[in-house]
Amino acid sequence: MPQHRKAIIIGGGPAGLSTALRLHQTTNIKCTIYEIRTEPTTLGGAIGIMPNGMRLLHRLGIYDALQTRGSSHSNLVVHSAQGGIVAKQEDMVSYARAQTGFGYMRIKRTDLVDVLLGAVDKAQVPVHYNKRLTAIADNGISGVTVTFSDGSIDQADILIGCDGIHSFVRRIYVDPLQEPEYSGISSLFSLVRTESLDVSAASRISGMGIALTEEGMFMATLATAKGDEVYWGLSQEVPLPESGDSRDGWEVRRLQEVDGFKSNMHRILEKVHGDWGDVLRQLVDGTDVIKFYPIYRLPLGGTWHKGRCMLLGDAAHAMQPHAGQGVSMALEDTFLLARLLEDPSQSVEEAYERFDEIRRPRVNEVYKLAARNVEVRKKTGPWGLWAKEVVVGAAFWVSWALGLEKRGNGQRHMVYDIDEQKI
């Protein structure tokens, strides 16, 4: 009987679904997924996926399906609050595209999950909803047992925690002392139908459009292949609110509260002039539901595995999303773990230790990159905003003038291929 015959995966989001799919494709491990929510979540906005992640989604066999859902526009424009253009790129992943053959995608989280669920269903991997984990018993060589709040029990050779930054697997077993910390940055965002904009405003939205303000950073981009939905958001430095579900964010739907948020957005946008300011104001006006998401992170150096339990993705190394690598980092975890578990003669402990050795340097690199990118989102005054625009514009100009972009400046982390790592 092979040693690694069955895996229990906790978490039915992108990390859990992709892990089950890759293990099904490349190993003899049979997976069962357990998700705490009663159905696939509708939380989340539109996720950006860089070339290193898109390449792995292609290897999972779902790239073509995603292409019919997400927007592949990759042009970038940074707008000045005074109405001009600070910087622009025709293709913000041009170097990585040339090296990998894959570009950038902005896709609704619900669409990504839906495509993954279709692939998992085709692979006949069971997904059970409304399953709240309450206990983990690691039985050593005989495997691991999990218990759920409804009294049901399951057993497997290994347990994989893909249950996000507030992971129950981490909290009750793998690393109880590791606590998420609030980054100081929160996002307000929404999805708006393109038809709610006038023709002129709609024509200005394709790839990523950014406006730096004194209060934070506004952005807007298409979120679908058809271009019929726009994702917009404000990323800003704010204290953590005392009310609401601060763990996963919450949706604001009541008219009075939505109008309050919109009034605040318009107050900020009063200082954003020009055509792009008009676009952002129309997006705010067309918003019916505003989602609030406080951004947490895990401090570096936490424990990722214990006994037969392993943490992947945000459960292990949640970082700020400002490098656009959240999903891609989870996919890299998935592909490496699958490779390490291909050989049933290798012990689980050896596989987990090798995973840790390989992944730490990469995770630390991207984590620090994301942390550096937060600076443009912090509050400032008029002169501070002016200085930010000058610095951003100069950085883009120097990169263009010296040909640094063609040599991979700012894009080398997007070329990384986990499958090329020696194991």
Q: Helix 255-269 and helix 274-285: axis angle, to 10°?
A: 170
Q: Helix 51-60 and helix 326-340: axis angle, to 10°?
A: 50
Could you read off the pLDDT of 145-155 as tens digits, one per residue? 999 999 999 99
For residues 131 and 35, give the distance between their C-alpha atoms in angstroms, rounded to a whole number: 6
Q: How confident is the model at residue 1 (pLDDT cuts 50, 70, 90)?
A: very low
Task: Quote the tokens at residue 294.
Answer: 């406080």
Q: What is the pLDDT at residue 300? A: 95
Neighbours of 258 (CB within 10 A): 17
Q: What is the mean pLDDT of residues 221-241?
A: 91
Task: Quote the tokens at residue 49.
Answer: 């996926």
What predicted TM-score, i.e. pTM, was given to this entire model?
A: 0.93
For residues 110 and 116, give the distance between their C-alpha atoms in angstroms, rounded to a whole number: 10
Lowest mean pLDDT among 197-201, 330-334, 376-380: 376-380
Lowest mean pLDDT among 203-212, 251-260, 401-410: 251-260
Could you read off the pLDDT of 50-108 as tens digits, one per residue? 999 999 999 999 999 999 999 999 999 999 999 999 999 999 999 999 999 999 999 99
Helix/strand/coil (H/E/C) assignment for every residue in the chain? CCCCCEEEEECCCHHHHHHHHHHHHHCCCEEEEECCCCCCCCCCCEEEECHHHHHHHHHHCCHHHHHCCCECCCCEEEECCCCCEEEEECCCCHHHHHHHCCCCEEEEHHHHHHHHHHHHHHCCCCEECCCCEEEEEECHHHCEEEEECCCCEEEECEEEECCCCCCHHHHHHHCCCCCCEEEEEEEEEEEEEHHHCCHHHHHCCCCEEEEECCCEEEEEEECCCCCCEEEEEEEEECCCCCCCCCCCCEEECCHHHHHHHHHHHHHHHCCCCHHHHHHHHHHHHCCCCEEEEEEEECCCCCCCEECCEEECCHHHHCCCCCCCCHHHHHHHHHHHHHHHCCCCCCCHHHHHHHHHHHHHHHHHHHHHHHHHHHHHHCCCCHHHHHHHHHHHHHHHHHHHHCCCHHHCCCCHHHCCCHHHCCC
Q: How confident is the model at residue 249 (pLDDT cuts 50, 70, 90)?
A: low
Strands 181-193 and 208-212: unpaired
For residues 332 and 365, give the distance between their C-alpha atoms in angstroms, rounded to a whole number: 14
Could you read off the pLDDT of 307-339 as tens digits, one per residue? 999 999 999 999 988 888 999 999 999 999 999
Mean pLDDT of the chain: 91
Output the CA angle 9-13-17, nearest 5 degrees.
Answer: 55
Q: What is the pLDDT at residue 244? A: 46
Could you read off the pLDDT of 135-194 as tens digits, one per residue? 999 988 889 999 999 999 999 999 999 999 999 999 999 999 999 998 888 888 999 999
Q: How confident is the model at residue 250 (pLDDT cuts 50, 70, 90)?
A: low
- With a pLDDT cut of 70, the percent of the chain lying above it is 94
Q: Identity (one letter) of the amino acid at 45?
A: G
Residue 275's contacts (CB-CB under 8 Å, 6 or more residues apart) are: 83, 200, 204
Q: How confident is the model at residue 45 (pLDDT cuts 50, 70, 90)?
A: confident
Q: What is the mean pLDDT of residues 36-57?
A: 89
Could you read off the pLDDT of 257-303 as tens digits, one per residue? 677 788 888 999 999 999 999 999 999 999 988 888 888 899 999 99
Q: What is the pLDDT at residue 404? A: 80
